Amino acid sequence: MTTEQVAAPISPWQVAQQQFDLAADKLNLDPGLRRVLREPRRELTVHFPVKMDDGSVQVFTGYRVQHNLGRGPAKGGIRYHQDVTLDEVKALAMWMTWKCAVVDLPYGGGKGGVVVDPKKLSRRELEGLTRRYATEISIVIGPERDIPAPDVNTNAQTMAWIMDTYSMHVGYTVPGVVTGKPISLGGSQGRNEATARGAVYCIIEAVRHMGMELPRARVAIQGFGNAGSIAAQLIAAEGASVVAVSDSTGGIHRAEGLDVDRVRAWKREHGTVQGFPGSRDVSNAEVLETDCDILIPAALENQITASNVDRIRARMIAEAANGPTTPDADIRLHERGTFMIPDILCNAGGVTVSYFEWVQDLNRDFWDESEVNKKLKGIMVKAFQDTLAMSTKEEVNMRTAAYLLAVERVASATALRGLYP
């Protein structure tokens, strides 16, 4: 096969900039302001040594990017993955800026990542890597500067290590430096389920808008980690039938619907959803192309592309993952009348409850889960309705509408603050 025949993979950063350009064009954004918002404010690359269990020293590469700080401190997760690149982290930081703005949180966007396959590290090695990475990025993070959170392959324990490392440096406990912490260290009730719960609140609104009935809906979910598995549970509790799910090893399908709780137990026991009794093993690609009413991509970016978009059969796509749909696929889906709940709206439940956690930490005043969920629902429903209203008013798809809403808010804040000096 010649090199000309292989389509170059589109970089997430190109996707993020293209999406921003569409909104900037539509808003007739001032050219200077456009140049400011098109690039990240800061990009930090660190190379740091970690002593491994066998006594050897490995050097890892990590990143922390702050896209925009116009509306408040940077906010965004940290991912551990062998395929992390600076371009990916830049894109995720930009998406965080728009995500915080679309749900009207007083944050800018940030993101971090370490190039590592954490499954190959022992717990001690993982802790050593986390603490050294936290030390390297401590020059840019802080409760009023940049507040990390969990993302792909990181969790509450990772955040506890980062919080402790940062606190040791400053000499006192700073719970507000990260969110997604264990409850006992200042974490928020409801944080673990927040991304999935926010997505389901959006789906319920979209189903109502489209005149569908959720108890009759068939749902396929790509990705069965935190967001995907909890979304499966929550949407099944609303009466929908989950017919296909997948994780990094592959997927399963059952036309009559899967027992989500049993699938979660199977995954815990076997490390994969495949082989689940009564279901048929399928590939990740087949899960995306399943005959269903609602498709929830909850894995990684660039999953729905020009090469598979014509085989996507769902009436509605709810993006629980970041950037799962490429711009050309987006246009095709809109032309076909597929209703899209874009990532910067659909999965903003996580950052919303992270914001609640940060507020609780700063005030040393904690809320019960019912209060967290009630506040989350209010914010998600309002953001969905605002986006839908913008979509109707400007006659654009939901993603463009969400970008118009978000970019307008960030541009307004940036313009009002002016240029320093």
Active-site positions? 111
Residues 6+ apart with CB under 8 A from 135: 48, 165, 169
Query: CA-to-CA distance for 66 and 76, rounded, in angstroms?
Result: 9
Q: By C-alpha distance, which of 218, 225, 279, 219 is closest to 249?
A: 225
Are 223 and 321 a contacting pair, CB within 8 Å? Answer: yes
- Report DSSP state, residue 304: B
> What's the token pair of residue 134?
């936290």
Give the torsion sign (CA, 177, 93, 379, 212). negative
* Neighbouring-strand partners of residue 250: 247
Are 283 and 308 a contacting pair, CB within 8 Å? Answer: no
Q: By C-alpha distance, which of 393, 398, 311 is closest to 19?
A: 398
Q: By C-alpha distance, which of 200, 148, 153 is closest to 357?
A: 148
Query: CA-to-CA distance for 216 and 198, rounded, in angstroms?
Result: 21
Q: By C-alpha distance, which of 162, 172, 110, 171 is closest to 138?
A: 162
| Chain centroid to CA 204 | 19
Amino acid found at 146: D
Query: CA-to-CA distance for 271 and 286, rounded, in angstroms?
Result: 20
Q: By C-alpha distance, which of 14, 145, 137, 12 is closest to 78?
A: 137
Query: CA-to-CA distance for 230 and 233, rounded, in angstroms?
Result: 5
Residues 6+ apart with CB under 8 A from 144: 73
| Chain centroid to CA 361 | 22
| Chain centroid to CA 165 | 25
